[in-house]
Amino acid sequence: MDPIHIDVPYVLHTKRLILRRPEAGDGGMINEAVHRSEQQLKPWLPFVQEMPSIEDTESSARQAHTDFTARKKLRYLVFHKKKGDFIGSTGLHNIDWEVGKFEVGYWIDTKWSGHGYMRESVRELTRLALEDLGGARVEIRCERAHEKSRRIPEQLGYQLEGILRMEDLSVDGRCLTDTCIYAKVQERRKKHG
């Protein structure tokens, strides 16, 4: 089955959050959060090495919308349910629909850090991938030194399957880094099509 025929919800709800796919016009809001969180994001994320313009971020949001529609990547923007404020971004990428494999990525606006919002978002994405989308495997990859990022899969019951030593360059290109691979798997998988 062509993945474009797979029904994927555009909006997800948790107890405290709304996750929705990016839309045209989201660039300014996302860009503001990235700029506000530059110091915390820069050591870990390539797109923060040179701060993006609002136009760059708008283009990224529109591309994410297109990728979502084509089922290439399923990016969601995270909002506080009561306040409506933008909190961060998460999504499923490196998708292999044939195998039923997904990788979760995430970042949070610094002003919302420390309240468990990203953990709540990733829990919902994991549920979506394994239950609604019939996935067999969900991975989270992060640098060994990024302890805050590692806490999320550890708190959600992902298994640390291994640490790839000296596997990648740091985002600034200055040194080699170790990559932790966490995963959740589901033996019984429903196949699409």
pLDDT in tens, 14-24: 999 999 999 99
Query: 50 is written with which tokens?
Result: 């040179």
- pLDDT score for 190: 58
pLDDT in tens, 28-65: 999 999 999 999 999 999 888 899 999 999 999 999 99
Non-local CB neighbours of 46 within 8 Å, separated by 6+ positions = 171
The phi and psi torsions of 48 (rounded to 5 degrees) equal: -105, 0
Nearest residue to 92 (alpha-carbon basis) of 105, 110, 80 = 105
Strand 176-185 to 137-143 pairing: antiparallel
Tell if the pTM clears 0.95, that is, is over it: no
Instruction: List residues bridging with 102 in a β-sheet.
Output: 138
Q: Which residue has tokens 């429903």? A: 190
Ordered structural domains, the chain, with CATH: 3-137 (3.40.630.30)
